[in-house]
Amino acid sequence: MAEGNVITLYDLNIATGATLSPFVWATKFALRHKGFDIDLVPGGFTGILDRTGGRSERLPAIVDNGEWVLDSWNIAEHLDAKYPDRPMLMAHEGVAASTKVIERWLWDAAIWHWMKCFIKDYRDLSLPQDQDYVTRSREEKFGAPLDVLQAGREERLPGISASLEPLRSALREHRWLGGANPDYTDYRVIGAFLFISSISTIPVLAADDPLRDWIERCCDLYDGLGRHPGLFPLFGLEERPGAPDLFRRQPDMSGLSKRNTGAQG
Ligand SMILES: N[C@@H](CCC(=O)N[C@@H](CS)C(=O)NCC(=O)O)C(=O)O
C-alpha cells in the first residue's frame, strides 16, 4: 500500500510551471482516479537521469512505497493490478486496446500537426537550461528548423480542428469516453489536449466547439487538476475564409451514425 496514500510522481515542466508531457498528464489523472494524493517532483528535460537516480531518461516515473515504475502505460497497469479494489482505469483488456486505437488516431490526426504549429513556442517556453536540447532534438526529429516548421500555422489550424470529428461524434452520444464515468481513455485523450494547451500560444479550437463541454469537464476533475494557470486557452480559433469548417454543425447522418429505426414507409 502506498505510504500515507501518497505516490511520488516525477513531472516534466516548462517555464510556466505547467506540465508539458501528455504522458505525465495522463498519469496525474490516473493517480487521482485511483484515489491517491500526488507528491510531485518538478523539473524539466535536463537532468531527468539524475533526478531519477540513473533509472530513466524519460518521464513519467512514479515511486509507490519505494517501488519505482517507469512509463505511463506500465504505471496505469501497475495501479490497476496493485489496487484492484479502487476504481479501475481499464476495467478489461478491451479498454486498453481501444484506447490505443483512439490515441494513435488522435496523434496522427491532430497532435503531431499541432505540435509542429507550436514547435518554436514549445522551445521558447521550455526552461532556459532545456532550450538548446529541445531545439536540437526536435529539429532532428522533424527534419527542419523550428521556425520553418511553425511558419504558416494559421492556414493549417482549421483543417486540424476539422479532423477531430470522430471524437466529436462519440462524445455527442456518450458523457465520457469511459461511459458514465471517466476512465483511462479519457485521461489519455485529455492528456494530449493539455500537452497542446501548455504550448498553444494561439487557440486551436472554435469557442463553440462541441468538444468544449467534455474538455472543460475533464479539466474540472479532481479539484481542477487540468486548470494550471500556465496553460493557454484552447478555444477561440476563428473560421478562415476558404479553409475547412472548424467542426461539422450538422450531425453526420450516414449509416455509420444513424440508428436504423425501421422502415420509414
Ligand atoms: N512511453 C513513454 C514515453 C515517455 C516520454 O517519451 N516522455 C517524454 C516527454 S513527453 C520524455 O520524457 N522525453 C524526454 C526527452 O525528450 O528527453 C511513456 O508513456 O511514459
Which of residues 82, 109, 133 is at a domain's end? 82
Radius of gyration of the chain (CA): 19
Q: Bridge partners of 150?
A: none
156 part of a folded domain: yes
Both 78 and 116 in one domain: the answer is no
Do 124 and 46 have their domain in common?
A: no
pLDDT at 3: 79
Q: Give the CA-trace dihedral at 80, 8, 185, 154, to 10 degrees.
A: -170
For range 120-127, the mean pLDDT:
98
100 and 71: one domain?
A: no
Grid cell at residue 260: 436504423
CA 21 to ligand 1: nearest atom: 10
My answer on whether 180 and 117 are in the same domain is yes
For residue 251, is it within any domain? no
Residues 78 and 114 in one domain: no
* 145 and 105 co-located in one domain: yes
Q: Is 194 in the pocket of ligand 1 (CB under 6 A)?
A: no
Nearest CA to ligand 1 atom 12: 58
**Nearest-CA neighbor of 45 among 157, 158, 128?**
128
Name the residue of 13, 14, 20, 23 to mutate for ligand 1: max ligand atoms within 8 A of Cβ. 23
pLDDT level of residue 253 (50, 70, 90 thresholds): confident
Classified as helix, coil or strand, 16 is coil
* Per-residue pLDDT at 255: 86
pLDDT digits (tens, 9 = 90+) for 54-85: 999 999 999 999 999 999 999 999 999 999 99
pLDDT band at residue 41 under the 50/70/90 scheme: very high
pLDDT at residue 256, rounded to an integer = 85
Q: How many CB atoms lie within 10 A of CB 147?
A: 10
Residues 173 and 215 in one domain: yes
Q: For residue 148, tell me if it sits in a domain.
A: yes
State the pLDDT at residue 254: 86
Would the pLDDT of 146 be above 80? Answer: yes
pLDDT tens readout for residues 12-25: 999 999 999 999 99
Ligand 1 site, residue 176, Cβ cutoff 6 A: no
Q: What DSSP character marks residue 237?
A: P
What CATH code is carried by the domain that includes residue 23?
A: 3.40.30.10
Q: From the CB of 142, is ligand 1 less than 6 Å away?
A: no
Q: Domain limits at 18?
A: 3-82
The Cα–Cα gap between 39 and 42 comes to 10
224: phi then psi, degrees, rounded to nearest 5: 75, 40
Q: Which of 21, 119, 130, 184 to mutate to test the pocket of ligand 1 (most atoms within 8 A of CB)?
A: 21
Beta bridge partners of 39: 8
What is Dmax (Cα atoms) for the chain? 71
Per-residue pLDDT tens digits for 84-109: 999 999 999 999 999 999 999 999 99
Chain segment 154-209, per-residue pLDDT in tens: 999 999 999 999 999 999 999 999 999 999 999 999 999 999 999 999 999 999 99
Q: Which residues are CB-neighbours of 12 under 8 A, at least 6 positions away?
A: 19, 20, 21, 24, 43, 44, 45, 48, 59, 60
Domain-embedded: residue 189: yes
pLDDT of res. 258: 86
Nearest ligand 1 atom, CA 137: 16
Do 67 and 124 share a domain, yes or no? no
Which of the four pLDDT bands, split at 50, 70 and 90, describes residue 1?
A: low
Does 115 share its domain with 13?
A: no
Nearest to 186 by CA among 87, 108, 112, 257: 87
* Ligand 1 atom index nearest CA of 22: 10
Q: Is 212 in the pocket of ligand 1 (CB under 6 A)?
A: no
Mutate which of 58, 103, 135 for ligand 1? The one with the most ligand atoms within 8 Å of its CB, which is 58
Distance 58 CA to ligand 1 centre (A): 4
CATH classification of the domain holding 155: 1.20.1050.10
Q: Based on the domain organization, do 74 and 135 belong to the same domain?
A: no
Q: Within this chain, do residues 109 and 218 fall inside the same structural domain, yes or no?
A: yes
Q: Please report the pLDDT score of residue 251 as a whole number.
A: 78
Same domain, 40 and 162: no
Instruction: Please state the domain count of the chain.
Output: 2
